[in-house]
Copies of this chain bind each other. A is one copy, B any other.
Amino acid sequence: MIKVGIVGGTGYTGVELLRLLAQHPQAQVEVITSRSEAGMRVDEMYPNLRGHYDSLAFSVPDAATLGACDVVFFATPHGVAHALAGELLATGTKVIDLSADFRLQDADEWAKWYGQPHGAPDLLPEAVYGLPEVNRKAIKQARLIAVPGCYPTAAQLALIPLLEAGLADTSQIIADCKSGVSGAGRGASVGSLFSEAGESMKAYGVKGHRHLPEIRQGLRRAAGKDVGLTFVPHLTPMIRGIHATLYASVVDRSVDLQALFEARYADEPFVDVMPAGSHPETRSVRGANVCRIAVHRPQDGDLVVVLSVIDNLVKGASGQAVQNMNIVFGLDERLGLSHAAMLP
């Protein structure tokens, strides 16, 4: 049984980790920390967990207690994992970080987008970007894993078959992405109120969003060269879900894109290439660790349109984190993640 610690468990990725780990046969949450809610039972804050965590309460973060875990998940704002990861790694604890702290390989780039110096640049060389469909081998050996962001997961999985095959014009790729409101977290902010975000849609961060450099880094990896990317996120009146619509020009119209995508993901348990002509719905992955993809070439032109949906809290965060844990500990990658999505 893997002993699990969670740092910063009061947000949505925290409760989702608890929900998923409650049904994981090989993991046991030993400690969950929160400075603000220390002493409160987790099922008092999250009544959906009543009956599943009868003796688990939030506690003040403590290096010794966390260091006694086999793995610690960080479900924290950026900056926190910078400060604590090194100490935990030194005790032999694996670190799986759901925040952005170790996603960008370049510390300067990180500092530019997050507005503060990188707090642990010495750990960057060993941090592994936890997208199993790309980095499975490295994840197996990793001590420190950076779980990809939600938009980056949906966008990269949609584009890497094209880029790896050298099929896309890399000078101009567009990612028009739509997210549910839970992506903004559980913090009290006016913009995330029901009466503000409901019954409305808007773009945001068109000037520049922190997931832009992360997606660009992943696309560069897949293409073997720099990629010109425009990323426009939109806020959508639903709780969960990301719908990414990707636009790229193909340099060779003769390739069977459907076959290409199916082949690329044939052995992937959590990427589902849908039949030609499909339009995946975000609800088809609600609560499940799956990315569903459909590839189109409208009017048989040059432009490829890839549709990609995930649940931002599962394949876009906590589910992918558990998937990484399974890989790191040599378990079946699907353990605790094999349930079907909830529809309707």
Interface residues of A (CB under 8 A from B): 12, 15, 18-19, 22-23, 46-52, 172, 174, 176, 178, 180-182, 186-190, 192-204, 206-208, 228, 230-232, 234, 236-241, 243, 245, 247, 249, 272, 274, 277-288, 290, 292, 296, 298-299, 301-303, 305, 307, 309, 338-344
Contact = CB atoms under 8 A, between A and B. Distances in A.
- What 4 pairs between A and B have smallest CB-CB spacing? A200-B283, A48-B341, A48-B343, A47-B284
A241 B292 contact: no
Nearest to A10: B190
A23 B198 CA distance: 25
B192 A22 contact: no
Contact of A190 (B15, B178, B186, B206): B186
A47 B176 CA distance: 23
A169 to B, nearest CB: 10
Contact of A176 (B245, B301, B343): B245
Nearest to A192: B193
Given A48-B342, A272-B51, A307-B203, A247 B174 contact: yes
A230 B298 contact: yes
Contacts of A172: 249, 302-303
A193 B198 contact: no
A243 B234 contact: yes
A243 B245 CA distance: 15
B206 A296 contact: yes
Contacts of A241: 199-201
A307 to B, nearest CB: 5
Contacts of A202: 243, 279-282, 307, 309
Given A201-B236, A201-B241, 11 more contacts: A47-B284, A48-B343, A172-B303, A192-B195, A198-B198, A203-B305, A230-B305, A236-B236, A287-B342, A339-B339, A342-B342
Contacts of A287: 287, 342
A186 B190 CA distance: 7
Nearest to A285: B48
A274 B176 contact: no
A36 to B, nearest CB: 12
Given A48-B288, A230-B303, A237-B236, A182 B195 contact: yes
Given A22-B340, A343-B46, A282 B201 contact: yes
Contacts of A342: 19, 48, 286-287, 342
Given A15-B343, A340-B52, A274 B47 contact: yes
Nearest to A300: B207
A28 to B, nearest CB: 15
Contacts of A187: 190
B343 A280 contact: no
10 contacts: A22-B339, A47-B274, A48-B342, A50-B272, A172-B249, A174-B303, A181-B193, A200-B286, A201-B282, A237-B237
B12 A344 contact: yes
Contacts of A196: 186, 194, 344
B195 A344 contact: yes
B340 A245 contact: no
Contacts of A204: 279
